Amino acid sequence: MDVNSRIAVCPGSFDPVTNGHLDVVRRAASLFDEVIVAVGINASKSALLEADERVRLFEQAVEHMPNVRVERMDGLLVDLCREHGADLIVKGLRGGADFDDEQPMAAMNRHLSGVETLFLITDAAVSHISSSLVKDVAQYGGNITDMVPAPVADAVYRAFGTHPPKEDEA
């Protein structure tokens, strides 16, 4: 590890990763030397996809981003940051509801270890996309193919036993 390099961690449950998450990671990768995507467990949510599958799908989605890697996070985010010498957390903010969720987490992480959280305002083109809405749409056979990478759409439809609408139904 280069002591001068700036490493940022993009944490989330990514259940599943969406084009909105990828926009934030892409922008973080242009701001920092290295970005570590930390795929974790949110104790207040139950996941559709297994953690290892969420990691694999994120890895596929960032294959073309040379300074981004993906790690599974089983413990505290601040411990992962310390282990990897990362001094910043980067997250996307879509609006006030996200702020309400993120503010206590950012304050807690800073309290625990001094690590700062930097928020990037989500691009308007993807600000309506969330993992939970993607799952809600897919569950009823709606079209998610323009909101997540293709392998992610396949995995989500498979998990629900549904499929995207046929061309003439779309």
**Active site (catalytic) residues:** 21, 45, 94, 131
Residue numbers 22-81 binding ligand PNS by CB under 6 A: 40, 42, 45, 73, 76-77
The site that binds ligand PNS (CB under 6 A) totals a number of residues, namely: 12
CB 90, min distance to ligand PNS, A = 11
Interatomic CA distance for residues 156 and 144, integer angstroms = 9
**Contact between residue 92 and residue 22 where contact means Cβ atoms under 8 Å apart:** no
The Cα–Cα gap between 65 and 83 comes to 22
Does residue 93 touch ligand PNS according to CB under 6 A? Answer: no
Do 8 and 118 meet the contact criterion of CB atoms below 8 Å apart? yes
Q: Which two tokens stand for residue 91?
A: 């997250």
* Shortest reach from residue 60's CB to ligand PNS, in Å: 19
How is residue 135 written in tokens? Answer: 């799952």
Interface residues toward ligand PNS, by CB under 6 A: 11-13, 40, 42, 45, 73, 76-77, 105, 108-109
